[in-house]
Amino acid sequence: MLLHDDSQGFGPVDTSQSPHACLKTLKFKSVSLNEGFWTKKITVNRKISLHFGSKMLEKAGNFDNLRIAAGLIKGNFRGYVFQDSDIYKWLEALAWEMGRKPDNELSSIADQAIELVVAAQLPDGYINSYVQTREAFKPWIDLDNGHELYCAGHLFQAAVAFECALGDHRLLNIACSFADHICSVFGPDKRHGACGHPEVEMALVALFRVTGESRYLDLAKFFIDQRGESAMKGHRSYGPEYHQDHIQVRQVIEAAGHSVRQLYLASGVTDLFLETGEQALLEAMVRLSKDINETKLYITGGLGARFDGEAFGDPYELPTDQCYCETCAAIASLMWNWRMLLASGEGHYADQMERVLYNNILAGPALDGQHYFYINPLMLREARYLRLSTDLPPSEIFIPSQRPEWHDCACCPPNVMRLLSSFSHYLATRDAKGIQIHHFASADIECDLPTGLRVKLNIMTEYPWQGHIRLRVVQSGHAPWRLSMRIPEWSQTPRLSINGEIVRDLRREKGYLVLEREWQAEDVVELELEIEAILVASNPRIDATRGCFAIQRGPIVYCLEDRDQEITGRLLDVEIDKNQPLLTRWDSGLLDGVMVVEANGQFVDYESWHGRLYQPATSSVLANPRPARLVAIPYYAWGNRVIGGMRVWIPNKSI
């Protein structure tokens, strides 16, 4: 196998050689995070979650499944058909984490898992512990629901991570052997069909990028082109739409079916565009993005309105208490929007990344790093009912006191782990003219520009709590280059100074402030984004939230938790007074340190209804409201004390 000369060392998406990428990703170690909001989360992930993940994968039988497949022990396969993918996602997380900083313990648990993968692989390259532990070995008999190619995709991504972050070829050898096996089975003159759960498409493109083997890119295109024949029977009562097999990828006009599948497919399609430049693919993805952002997106960035089929709903169908918003869908949205950003350079994709990152993705894991939500509702009715998974045993459909440790279908926890461990990948890019800063965190960034300049930057910020971003040029060269900094969609009046001088004529392109000059070492750029709490209204067609407001401060969406209110048990009665100012205060002792927002509102007079559900609208039954101070915390932090009533959307004061 020939490796690209400079393919090693990039992050999850390497567009350094992609001919149609507007923006080029940086090498993985080019961005190192310093103390700040994200470093706290990533440290919990590193020190707690990754070790915890190892224990849970052992407990849930994932490792044993590989041991049985390898003939090391006897026993029965446990779990879902896609159980191997949890291991691969967790391994991917380990690779990025060790790539940033070596760790002997992590290295040791990674080695043990890799040895199992090596042992379980068949001589022809095939590996899937579910299929290998059946009484009769029958691979590829259920492409719709068997998840063999899905698991292969996660193996490929883990392999790319070990190769890029660590220069460790072991998993890449396994992956390429399996990919070659798949190439021998599927293709235009071979077997037709595609996996019911997209994932392998983007993974094959990643494998192509790291190896330079074009057959992997061709296979990704083949699988993408297979969709739209309605050949997939669907899952249970769901038709081919469940698998996005109801329409050809280039004809797509709206998001449909299982949300994670839709978004993983979109990621693969966008990856294919980045390599081939086929406009019809990008145009379809732009239509898909428009449909989602204009009619199917929760304020938290959550996607998938329906439990039924874990699916997108109709336009504006965005219920708050029975929504799905799977953590994996949120992560998939970030992955896809990142690819759209790389393809177009348009900042509104980075805005969507930010929305989902600070809200839905961060709500998935508990602050302790060892409990996880699968479903992320925007309202809980006094903890009466919290359905956690779509079709799982009663043990997972109950009123928990906190997020469950793990799930029978444990796709989300290791997905969070790999996202957090590779977070630094998503902060910045370069193009022919300079560097783009997409997300704000304290970090050191270094980058070689195509002009030959080596640039080093240092960013200091208290973002997302404060809007001050200080960027210092540590090293530059004697030639002009462009520094682009994203202005978030919520920021109306950003201010910027260079070396203390306010810049009045700010040049904006594609959602970025663009500063071009011959930068000198020790130049300082200071960007001031006005982070203040505001009320957000929803499109009136979203009937579930009509007449309500949500509190947002900078990128962070807030919620009311029952336990913080002056009378508990009455979240259903609260209303907010939109004419009163919102106050913020920092509470370092609460939920690992959060900015709390307080609003004026009231409790409606529930007692005057005397147990009735309905009465003539002429009655003055809402008289005598009780004024109340409403206390809001960041949505991502909810459910970290005892899970109780919670709501993001608050009805406007009625009288």
Q: Which residues here bind Zn ion, judged by CB under 5 A?
A: 326, 328, 411-412
Q: Residue 151: which of 98, 103, 92 has the closest Cα?
A: 92
Name which of 331 and 646 has its Cβ closer to Zn ion: 331
Name which of 80 and 606 has its Cβ closer to Zn ion: 80
Rg (CA), the chain: 25
Least distance CB 131 / Zn ion (angstroms): 22
Least distance CB 77 / Zn ion (angstroms): 20
Q: Pull the structure tokens for residue 92.
A: 């991917």
Least distance CB 240 / Zn ion (angstroms): 22
CB 187 within 8 A of CB 219: yes
Crossing angle, helix 214-226 and helix 170-185, to 10 degrees?
A: 50
Name which of 372 and 649 has its Cβ closer to Zn ion: 372
Exactly one of 183, 323, 411, 447 is catalytic; which is it?
411
Task: Based on the residue annotation, tell me whether 530 is a catalytic residue of this protein.
Answer: no
Name which of 97 and 326 has its Cβ closer to Zn ion: 326
Least distance CB 197 / Zn ion (angstroms): 11
Exactly one of 163, 310, 526, 561 is catalytic; which is it?
310
Beta strands at 583-587 and 574-576: parallel, antiparallel or unpaired: unpaired
SS3 569: coil
Least distance CB 612 / Zn ion (angstroms): 42
**Residue 444, CA distances (Å) to 32, 38, 328, 401, 471 in order:** 5, 14, 29, 40, 10
Least distance CB 411 / Zn ion (angstroms): 3
Burial of 138 (0-12, 13-18, 19+ CB in 10 A): exposed
Name which of 80 and 140 has its Cβ closer to Zn ion: 80
Q: What is the DSSP string of 591-639?
A: TTSEEEEEEEEEE--GGGGTT-S---TTS-TT-S-EEEEEEEEEGGGTT
Task: Based on the residue annotation, tell me whether 201 is a catalytic residue of this protein.
Answer: no
Q: What is the DSSP string of 368-418?
A: TSS-B-SS--SEESTTS--B-SSS--GGGBS--SS--S--SS-SHHHHHHH
Alpha carbon distance 115, 367 (integer Å): 32
Q: Pull the structure tokens for residue 468.
A: 């001050």
Beta strands at 650-651 and 626-634: parallel, antiparallel or unpaired: unpaired
Crossing angle, helix 37-44 and helix 412-421, to 10 degrees?
A: 130
Name which of 311 and 412 has its Cβ closer to Zn ion: 412
- What are the residue numbers of the active site? 310, 411
